[in-house]
Amino acid sequence: MRKRISSRRRVKRNPSKIIKRVRKTRIRTRPANTFELQVFRMVNEERTSRGIAALTLNSMLTDLAVLKSRDMRDNNYFGHTSPTYGTPGQMLNRFGVSWRAYGENIAAGQTTPEEVMRVWMNSPGHRANILDPRFTDIGVRYVTGTATSRYQTYWTQLFIQKP
């Protein structure tokens, strides 16, 4: 079984709102692998072929994307609201990422970059995130499943528009 879901938020952060400081968590990740770089390249090919500016690969978003993928795998869920980090916007805020708008694409079960990109581009919500001209940065990660996880792979794309 393969799943896909997208989240799109057009919310501006309210700078006058008091935000609790969250203890910074050290994120230990590995360098992006070939699959993730291929997805990044394919996203930018889709954008530039339509006259939309290419995205910048953002290391913090990439680190958060792997945390999200691991969280879905390890906590046996598939969705935008994490039992650990909350919504994508809450996760971005928790780790100190400044944003004007954000989007998240997740997928599970796809085994190649071509397959996950085909699924995302054939879904209106995912396609909208990939082609949203407001977004400036992207992070992409996937993790493999475990013997007890529901899916073989978990993919996450995080997009932001910088303020």
Q: What is the pLDDT of residues 58-85, one digit of tens each?
A: 999 999 999 999 999 999 999 999 999 9
Q: Is 154 helix (H, G, I), strand (E, B) or coil?
A: strand
Among 130, 116, 144, smallest CA distance to 3 is for: 116
Strands 56-57 and 137-144: parallel
Query: Hey, what are 136's tokens?
Result: 């400036």
In sequence order, the β-bridge partners of residue 102 are 9, 160
Half-sphere exposure of 147 (CA within 13 A, CB side): 0
Does residue 113 carry a pLDDT above 70? yes
Q: Give this prediction's pTM.
A: 0.81
- Identify the burial level of 161 via C-beta atoms within 10 angstroms of its C-beta, where 0-12 means exposed, 13-18 middle and 19 or more buried: middle
pLDDT of residue 33: 74
CB neighbours of residue 116 within 10 Å: 27
Check: CB of residue 73 under 8 Å from CB of residue 149. yes
